[in-house]
Amino acid sequence: MRRLKPQTRREIAKLEDQLVEKAQKIAQNLWDELDTGQRRDGKVRQLRNILEVAESTDSWKALELFIRYQAARKEIPGVWAESAIQELSALQTYAREIARTTGDSEKTIHLELITRVLGHAVRWHLWDVKKGEG
């Protein structure tokens, strides 16, 4: 778990609904990019792998590279990888604003937001897989 001030955690909590909505968009984009065979498999494991890297790294660039690496290995669709990277990168705007008011590291806040969004995306995606539609 990342070390963040209680004030920072409260500010992040205020964004939770927006983070869940971003996660739903990321999950829906993944579902839309999967073919029928991949939809049966779901690629949930790959999304969890990305989440695990997000939880364990202190570098957005390393996570971004890992997502591209998974796409290059054909574990996830390349189009989805690029759209997910854009969505996750955009969280930096929230991180910058929170850092300005709390004094915590923008980089740490950004990674915390990414981790939360990816966690929600895993749950949304599993929902899509289990219900069998996007």
pLDDT digits (tens, 9 = 90+) for 74-117: 999 999 999 999 999 999 999 999 999 999 999 999 999 999 99
Which single residue is written with the structure tokens 């790959």? Answer: 46
How sure is the predictor about 134, in pLDDT bands with cuts at 50, 70 and 90?
very low
65-74: Cβ within 8 A, 24+ apart: 70/46
- Give burial (CB, 10 Å; 0-12/13-18/19+) of 16: exposed
pLDDT of residue 16: 97
Alpha carbon separation from 128 to 42, 43, 98, 121 (Å, rounded): 9, 11, 32, 10
Q: What is the pLDDT of residue 42?
A: 64
Are the beta carbons of 73 and 65 closer than 8 angstroms? Answer: no
Which segments of 15-126 are extended strands (E)? none
Residue type, 110: H
Q: How confident is the model at residue 133 (pLDDT cuts 50, 70, 90)?
A: low
Q: Note the pTM of the prediction, 2 decimals.
A: 0.92
